[in-house]
C-alpha cells in the first residue's frame, strides 16, 4: 500500500461514522484551525492539533515535548527482508494518517457491511490529533544476518557498554525496532502503537512497551521546565529547538558522519530508570539540593536566584565549600565537564503500579537524542555511573539504543534509504 | 494534626518557593477563577480547578469523571487501632490540601533550612488542582479482629463470590483500604497517592496500584461518552449526577440501610479486566456490534440511529432475528433484565506495558459505585459471567470491594463515624 493510496483510503475521524459525525464535528473543527500553524514553537501551546509527519527530520525529536508517551520496542519475527520492507511501507502510510488525526482505513465495509474486522480499532474516534508524533529507530540487532543489513550498520550504533550499577532486565532492553509515540492525549498514543502492532502481526511482536506522563524535559523555550518524580525541575539546560546551530553540532547526523541513510537522523538512547522514591523522600531538603546542585523550588543553580542563571562551578560558601558540590549531578552532567557533549532529552515520568514490596514502581523513562552516542551519552553516563551521588537513589533497569533515520518525504517510507 | 492546623500549615503551591512564584503564578491565576464554580455540572468542562473535598458525600463518585486515575489499595501494617485512626486524620487533612491544589506541608524549613526532608515531594509544584478528588473505601479485611471493627462491618460489604471464568491475581485483589485518586493531570493524581503512601509509612503499605486514562464512562450529561479499548462508546446509560432521584435509590446508602456510619456513602466494586485486544481486533465489525448490541461508530443500539435512543429489545430483522441479540452485552447488563439494578460506573482504560508474549497488557479498570452490591453488581455480574459473549475477549484478573463512607465535614476525618 503506497502512502498515496492510504491517504485516499484513509477517512477522517469526522466522516468515518456517518451518523456519528455530528457529535465529533466540534472536536474536529477545533483542531482544523490549528493545522495552519507553521513554526514548531507555536505548537507548544496547542495540545490538540496535528504535527506534520513528513519533513527533513523525523517529527517527535525537536517537536515541543508532548505530555504523554507510549514507547514500544518490537522484535522482527519474519525472516524475510521483503516482508520487513512491506511492513515499513505500511507503517509509514499508517503513521501519516494517524498523526493527521485520521483513522488508518475503512471500517469493515470493504467486503460488504460488517464482514471484515475494522481496519482501525476505533478507540481514538472523536479525539483530535493531539500532537501525535511517531518516530522510528533501528536497534543493533536489526543489522545481524537476517536481512542483509550488516554492512549498513552505522559505526555510531554501538552496543552500549555495561555501566557501573546497571541492573538491566533483558525483557525491557534492546529491540530490533523502536517506535516512540508522543501525544498530549494518552489514548491517542496508545491507539497509534496498538494499530501499528496490529498491522505488524506475523511480522513483528511487541518486545516491551512503556507508558509515560509529565514530560521530564522541554525541547522549546516556549515550554516551562517540568518536574521529575524527585520533585526537581528537569532539563533546564536541555538542547532546545531554537538552538539551530547547536542542533547541527549535537543532534543531527551530518553528511560527513555517514552512513548516507542516517544523514538528518539521530541516535536515540532509552533507559528505564527506576527511582527509589521512598528513600529519596526521607532525605533532607539540603541533601537533595546538594545532590542535584539546584534549589528544589526555584530550580536555580545553588548560589543563584533564577532557574536559567548560568551555573558558577567555582563559587564557594563562606566556609570555603563549593556551592555546587564536586559530585553534584549538574556538574557531572554539564557539557563543560564532558568535552562539550550535550543531549536532547525528552524523557517521561512513569508509575507502573507497585512492585510487590509495598513500593511504587516509579521513575524516569529517559530518552535522549544525539549525533553520536560514542561522544555523548556513553562518556557522560560513564562519568555519572562512577561518581553521581544520585546513584544511591536510582537504578537503570532497561536500556536501548536505536538509529533513527532522517525524515520521511511524501511518497517515501521509514528507512527507505537503508533498504535501497 | 487536625484539619485546621493543616490548613494553616499548608502553603499554596504559588507561595511555596518564593522566587519560583513568578513562574508558577500564571497557572495559579488560571485556576483561582474556577474555584467559585458551584454546580457539579459546570466542572465537567473545566480541567484545572479544584473540586471541594468536604460535603455530604465523598467527592470522586458523582464528580464528572476526570481523565486520569491512580488507584491504590493499601494493607494496614500497624496492629494498633490508635495508629490507624491517627493515619486517617492525617490523610484527611492532607487530602483537603491536595484537592485544593496545595502542598501538604512545609518544605523542610521547620528545623532550619534544609535539615528535614521536605514534607511534600514536590513534583506537583506549579501544577493546578486539576480537579483532583480523593475517595476512600474500607475493604472486608479491615473488619477482622485487629481493630475491633468486626461488629461495624456492613452486611452489604460481602466478600464477592467467585464468578465463572474469574482468574484473579491475589496481588491485584483485596486490600484493607482503597484510595481512588482522579484528576485531569496524571502527575497530580500520582503525587497525591505517593504523598498519602509516604504519610502512611510504617502504618500502611501499598498492596497494588493502578494507573488509568481515558475514562470509560461519563457521570454527567455534560460529558460526551468516551470509548473503551474495544473501540466502543462505554457508559451511555450510566447513572448520571443529574439523576438525583435515582441516585438515592441506586447509589447512596440510605438511613434505613445501615449501618449509621455508611449513610450517605456507597459501595465500590473494582475489577481489573484484561482485554484480549489482539483477538478482538481480528473479529468482524458485524460480530463486534452483535456482541455489544450497539453500532461501533454511532454508539446507537442496533436498529436505532442515535446513541441515546431507547433500546428496543423486541425489534427483529427482516429474517426474524432479534436486532439486539439474546446474549448481547447491553441486554444482559440492562436494568430491565436485572430487577432494575443500575450502577454508577467510572472506570478507566489501562495499558501496563506488554505481557511478555508480544501482547499489550491492556484493558479496563472497572470501578462501579452502588447502594448494595448484593442487589446490584453481584447479580448483574453473575448473569454476565454466565452468558455474555464478551467473555471470549476479556478476563477478570483483579477484584476488590470497599465500603466508602459518607462525606467528610470540615473538622472531621475519613471514617470518623466508623471509629466513634
Where is B249: in which H helix or E strand?
Answer: helix B244-250
A112-169: pLDDT as tens digits: 556 788 889 999 998 999 999 999 999 999 999 999 999 999 999 999 999 999 999 9
Task: Look up the pTM and report it.
Answer: 0.90
Any idea of the CA torsion for B91, B92, B95, B97, to the nearest 10 degrees? -110
Q: B23: pLDDT confidence band, cut at 50, 70 and 90?
A: very low
Residue A12 has pLDDT above 70, yes or no: no
User: Once rounded to an integer, what is the mean pLDDT over residues A348-360?
Assistant: 89
Report the pLDDT value the prediction gives residue B153, as an integer from 0 to 100. Answer: 98
A386-407: pLDDT as tens digits: 998 999 999 999 999 999 999 9
**What percent of chain B shows pLDDT beyond 70?**
87
B33-72: pLDDT as tens digits: 222 233 444 444 578 899 999 999 999 999 999 999 999 9
Residue A21 has pLDDT above 70, yes or no: no
Q: Which residues fall within 8 angstroms of residue A244, CB to CB, at 6 or more apart?
A: none
Residues A396, A275: Cα–Cα separation, whole Å: 9
User: Once rounded to an integer, what is the mean pLDDT over residues B76-83?
Assistant: 97
CB nearest A194 (choices: B122, B123, B277): B277
Residue B397 touches chain A, beta carbons under 8 Å: no
Q: B107: pLDDT confidence band, cut at 50, 70 and 90?
A: low
Any idea of the CA torsion for A47, A49, A50, A56, to the nearest 10 degrees? -70
Predicted ipTM beyond 0.90: no
Q: A30: pLDDT confidence band, cut at 50, 70 and 90?
A: very low
Report the pLDDT value the prediction gives residue B26, as an integer from 0 to 100. Answer: 29
Q: With beta carbons less than 8 A apart as the criterion, state whether A257 and A263 touch.
A: yes
Decide if B123 and A353 are in contact by the 8 Å CB cutoff. no
Residue A28 has pLDDT above 60, yes or no: no
Give CA separation, B416 vs B88, B90, B293, B404, in Å.
8, 12, 45, 12
What is the 3-state secondary structure of chain A?
CCHHHHHHHCCECCCCCHHHHHHHHHHHHHHHHHHHCCCCHHHCCCCCCCCCCCCCCCCCCCCCCCCEEEEEEEEECCCCHHHHHHHHHHHHHHHHHHHCCECCCCCCCCCCCCCCCCCCCCCCCCCCCCCCEEEEEECHHHHCCCCCCHHHCCCCCCCCCCCCCCCCCHHHCCCCEEEEEEECCHHHHHHHHHHHHHHCCCCEEEEEEEEEECCCCCCCCCCCCCECCCCCECCCCCCCCCCHHHHHHHCCCCCCCCCHHHCCCEEEEEEEEEECHHHHCCCCHHHHHHHHCECCCCCCECCCCCCCCCCCCCCECCCCCECCCCCCHHHHCCHHHCCCCCCEECCEEEEEEECCCCCEEEEEEEEEEECCCCCCHHHHHHHHHHHCHHHHCEEEEEEEEEEECCCCCCCCCCCHHHHC
Size of interface A-B (CB pairs under 8 A): 236
Q: What is the mean pLDDT of chain A?
A: 88
**DSSP single-letter state for residue B254:** P
Residue of B nearest to A299 (CA): B20
Closest CA to B275 of B175, B355, B211: B355
A338-351: pLDDT as tens digits: 999 999 999 999 99
Distance from CA of B257 to the nearest CA of A (A): 35
Q: A104: pLDDT confidence band, cut at 50, 70 and 90?
A: confident
Decide if A19 and B300 are in contact by the 8 Å CB cutoff. yes
B357-410: pLDDT as tens digits: 888 899 999 999 999 999 999 999 999 999 999 999 999 999 999 999 999 999
Q: A107: pLDDT confidence band, cut at 50, 70 and 90?
A: low
Q: B297 burial class (0-12, 13-18, 19+ CB within 10 angstroms)?
A: buried
Q: A108: pLDDT confidence band, cut at 50, 70 and 90?
A: very low
Residue A208 has pLDDT above 80, yes or no: yes
Intra-chain end-to-end CA distance of chain B, in Å: 18
Report the pLDDT value the prediction gives residue A46, as an integer from 0 to 100. Answer: 75
Q: B117: pLDDT confidence band, cut at 50, 70 and 90?
A: confident
Distance from CA of A139 to the nearest CA of B (A): 18
Residues B59, B406: Cα–Cα separation, whole Å: 10
Q: Output the CA angle B416-B419-B420, nearest 5 degrees.
A: 80
Q: What is the mean pLDDT of chain B?
A: 88
B 310-349 near A (Cβ less than 8 A): 349
Report the pLDDT value the prediction gives residue A8, as an integer from 0 to 100. Answer: 36
Dihedral sign for Cα B35, B41, B46, B52, please.
Answer: positive
User: Once rounded to an integer, what is the mean pLDDT over residues B113-137?
Assistant: 90
Residue A299 has pLDDT above 70, yes or no: yes
Report the pLDDT value the prediction gives residue B358, as an integer from 0 to 100. Answer: 81
User: Once rounded to an integer, what is the mean pLDDT over residues B284-311?
Assistant: 95
A10-19, A231-240, A380-389, B284-293: segment of lowest average pLDDT: A10-19
A96-110, A379-393, B88-102: segment of lowest average pLDDT: A96-110
CB nearest A115 (choices: B72, B232, B284): B284
B399: phi then psi, degrees, rounded to nearest 5: -155, 145
B191-211: pLDDT as tens digits: 999 999 999 999 999 999 999
Q: With beta carbons less than 8 A apart as the criterion, state whether A176 and A139 touch.
A: yes
Residue B207 touches chain A, beta carbons under 8 Å: yes
Closest CA to B180 of B215, B151, B141: B215
CB nearest A353 (choices: B19, B231, B352): B352
Residue A283 has pLDDT above 50, yes or no: yes
Q: Output the CA angle A326-A330-A335, nearest 5 degrees.
A: 100
Residues A164, A386: Cα–Cα separation, whole Å: 7
Report the pLDDT value the prediction gives residue A403, as an integer from 0 to 100. Answer: 98
Q: Which residues fall within 8 angstroms of residue B29, CB to CB, at 6 or more apart?
A: none
Residue B70 touches chain A, beta carbons under 8 Å: yes
Decide if A353 and B211 are in contact by the 8 Å CB cutoff. yes
Residues B221, B243: Cα–Cα separation, whole Å: 10
Report the pLDDT value the prediction gives residue B13, as an integer from 0 to 100. Answer: 52
Report the pLDDT value the prediction gives residue A9, as an integer from 0 to 100. Answer: 42
Report the pLDDT value the prediction gives residue B258, as an integer from 0 to 100. Answer: 87
CB atoms within 10 A of CB B397: 17
Report the pLDDT value the prediction gives residue A217, as an integer from 0 to 100. Answer: 86
Taking phi over 0 as left and psi of -120 to 50 as alpha, with beta for the rest, A88 belongs to alpha
Report the pLDDT value the prediction gives residue A84, as an integer from 0 to 100. Answer: 98
CB nearest A284 (choices: B115, B201, B295): B115
Report the pLDDT value the prediction gives residue A188, as an integer from 0 to 100. Answer: 96
Amino acid at each position: 500500500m503506497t502512502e498515496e493510496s492510504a491517504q485516499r483510503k484513509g477517512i477522517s475521524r469526522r466522516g468515518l461514522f456517518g451518523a456519528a459525525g455530528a457529535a465529533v464535528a466540534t472536536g474536529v473543527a477545533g483542531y482544523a484551525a490549528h493545522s495552519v500553524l507553521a513554526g514548531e514553537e507555536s505548537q507548544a501551546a496547542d495540545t490538540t492539533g496535528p504535527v506534520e509527519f513528513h519533513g527533513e527530520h523525523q517529527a517527535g525529536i525537536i517537536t515541543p515535548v508532548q505530555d504523554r508517551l507510549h514507547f514500544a520496542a518490537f522484535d522482527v519475527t519474519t525472516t524475510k527482508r521483503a516482508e520487513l520492507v512491506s511492513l515499513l511501507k505500511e507503517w509509514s502510510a499508517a503513521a501519516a494518517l494517524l498523526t493527521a488525526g485520521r483513522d488508518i482505513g475503512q471500517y469493515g465495509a470493504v467486503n460488504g457491511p460488517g464482514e471484515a474486522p475494522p481496519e482501525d480499532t476505533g478507540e481514538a474516534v472523536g479525539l483530535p490529533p493531539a500532537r501525535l508524533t511517531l518516530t522510528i529507530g533501528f536497534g543493533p540487532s536489526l543489522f545481524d544476518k537476517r536481512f542483509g543489513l550488516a554492512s549498513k550498520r552505522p559505526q555510531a550504533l554501538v552496543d552500549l557498554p555495561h555501566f557501573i550499577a546497571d541492573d538491566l532486565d533483558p525483557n525491557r532492553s534492546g529491540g530490533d525496532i523502536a517506535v516512540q509515540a508522543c501525544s498530549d492525549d494518552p489514548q491517542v498514543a496508545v491507539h497509534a502503537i496498538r494499530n501499528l502492532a496490529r498491522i505488524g502481526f506475523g511480522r513483528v511482536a511487541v518486545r516491551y512497551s512503556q507508558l509515560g506522563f509529565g514530560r521530564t524535559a522541554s525541547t522549546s523555550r516556549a515550554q516551562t521546565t517540568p518536574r521529575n518524580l524527585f520533585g526537581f525541575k528537569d532539563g533546564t539546560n536541555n538542547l532546545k529547538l531554537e538552538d539551530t546551530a547547536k542542533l547541527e553540532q549535537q543532534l543531527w547526523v551530518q553528511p560527513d558522519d555517514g552512513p548516507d541513510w542516517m544523514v538528518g537522523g539521530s541516535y536515540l538512547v532509552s533507559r528505564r530508570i527506576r527511582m527509589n522514591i521512598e528513600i529519596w523522600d526521607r532525605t533532607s531538603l539540603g541533601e537533595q539540593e546538594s545532590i542535584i546542585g539546584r534549589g528544589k523550588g526555584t530550580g536555580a543553580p545553588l548560589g543563584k536566584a533564577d532557574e536559567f542563571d548560568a551555573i558558577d562551578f567555582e563559587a564557594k560558601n563562606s566556609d570555603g565549600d563549593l556551592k555546587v558540590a564536586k559530585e553534584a549531578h549538574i556538574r557531572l552532567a554539564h557539557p563543560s565537564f564532558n568535552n562539550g557533549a550535550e543531549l536532547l532529552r525528552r524523557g517521561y515520568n512513569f508509575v507502573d503500579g507497585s512492585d510487590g514490596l509495598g513500593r511504587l514502581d516509579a521513575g524516569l523513562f529517559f530518552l535522549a537524542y544525539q549525533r553520536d552516542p560514542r561522544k555523548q551519552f556513553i562518556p557522560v553516563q560513564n562519568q555519572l555511573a562512577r561518581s553521581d551521588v544520585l546513584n544511591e537513589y536510582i537504578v537503570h533497569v532497561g536500556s536501548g539504543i536505536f538509529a533513527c533515520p532522517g525524515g520521511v518525504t511524501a511518497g517515501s517510507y521509514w528507512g527507505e534509504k537503508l533498504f535501497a
